[in-house]
Structure 1
Amino acid sequence: MDQLKRSLLDAPIIEKNGYHYFVHPISDGVPMLEPELLREIVIRIIRKADLEDVDKIVTPAAMGIHISTAVSLMTDIPLVVIRKRQYGLDGEVALFQETGYSESEMYINDVYEGDRVLVLDDVLSTGGTLKAILGSLEDIGADVVDLVAVIKKVGGENALEDAAYDAKTLINVDVVDEEVVIVDENGDD
């Protein structure tokens, strides 16, 4: 059994405001992230993503950073982190993101019209964060070459279902009776 599947099946489930979600090193930073799990994920992303002619990897803070940093190191593609803090730099673009359990402002720097980007994130659940990011990238005039989330949590409303972008995922899961259930071991293409 691969590391990602095993780690998800062993993930604890917690409830927050009626929303059940798994606690996982990729999405939460706990429990400890083993190097072999991160390595497996990076290799699978590199194999699945369309990386040809990508200028930048774009990821939201905070849990996309470790994955995107590792992919950047392996591909030599620069990394842009969408931050939750405003810096006021020239060209900074604000976006409002809303998920199933939070909402906040985020800020994009260093992405410009004509940039060809790979959007990379840890988990696709409600799609709220990615929808906001994709809308802002579109407003900037960036070309989203590909969109990859490591884990997709199925079963709820997904704001990306009607979007013009198809998210690729490495594995799709659901939470049923307080357990993680693997829905698709290979994710979406």
Structure 2
Amino acid sequence: MSYDECYVKSVIRTIPDWPEPGVQFRDITPLFKDPKALRMISDAFIQRYIDSEITHIASIDARGFLISSIMAYHLNIPLVLVRKKGKLPGETIHQEYKLEYGTAAVEMQLDAVTEGDKVLVFDDLIATGGTILAACSLIKELGAEVYEAAALIDLPDLQGSSKIQDAGVPVHSLLAFEGI
């Protein structure tokens, strides 16, 4: 593990038994109070994609917006939003996905991406993979190509990154935390 990874991991707070017993919640909000850590993670993602073919970043509601907006600015590419159903104005499409306790849905605006676009899907964390897979479905439905799914944190024990890769989408994360 590099110095940067160690430092960033030390800034992320683990909150036991939240939002329910047995869950180890990985709280990234302290990263936004630490300019050094925020620069480290932003720079790592920017360096990864600076010479890539991506044309857009599709960022998932809501903590992902904070990091991906920095990336989009530095890469000089559009940032499009994937939000919970009912949060975007105008014409949208939506995709439902399964949760452990029911279903949820995300949506994108109809004009967010189009044929020929190569889209990086960005979220703060990969758990079960449902949200990212739903976002990928929307992007493909709009005619664009999913270039890769990226996240700050992967929780490999929940197998979300494996499910995303099994769906044919490459996955990149900066950090992994064991457990749920």
Q: TM-score range by the shorter chain?
A: 0.7 to 0.9
Q: Which moved more, 1:47-56 or 1:62-71?
A: 47-56
| 8 A contact 1:96–1:132 mirrored in 2 | yes
What is the CA-CA distance between 1:42 and the residue it aligns to?
0.9
| 8 A contact 1:150–1:170 mirrored in 2 | yes
Compared with structure 1, are the counterparts of its residues 103 and 67 closer, same or farther at alpha carbon in structure 2 (3 Å cutoff)? farther
Say which SS state the counterpart of residue 90 (structure 2) adopts. coil
Identity of aligned residues (%): 25
| 8 A contact 1:99–1:127 mirrored in 2 | no
Compared with structure 1, are the counterparts of its residues 4 and 31 closer, same or farther at alpha carbon in structure 2 (3 Å cutoff)? closer
What is the CA-CA distance between 1:97 and the residue it aligns to?
3.3
What is the CA-CA distance between 1:101 and the residue it aligns to?
6.1
* Paired letter, 1:13: P
> Paired residues, what number?
171
Aligned to 1:150: 152
The within-5 A match list for 1:24-63 is 24-25=27-28, 29=29, 33-49=33-49, 52-63=52-63
| 8 A contact 1:19–1:101 mirrored in 2 | no
Structure 2: gaps of 5 or more residues: none
The within-5 A match list for 1:3-152 is 3-8=7-12, 10-18=13-21, 20-25=23-28, 29=29, 33-49=33-49, 52-84=52-84, 85-87=86-88, 89-90=90-91, 92-100=92-100, 103-109=103-109, 110-152=112-154
Higher relative contact order, chain-length normalized (CA < 8 Å, sep 6+): 1
Distance 1:124 1:16 in 2: 17
Q: 1:40-99: CA deviations, max 9, x gaps? A: 111111223475332211011111100111111211111111122254524x21111334
What is the CA-CA distance between 1:100 and the residue it aligns to?
4.2
More helix by share: 2
Structure 1: gaps of 5 or more residues: 177-189
Please report the RMSD computed on the Cα atoms of aligned residues, expressed in angstroms.
2.4
Distance 2:167 2:149 in 1: 12
Compared with structure 1, are the counterparts of its residues 52 and 23 closer, same or farther at alpha carbon in structure 2 (3 Å cutoff)? closer
Distance 1:137 1:56 in 2: 11
What TM-score do the two structures reach when normalised by structure 1?
Answer: 0.78
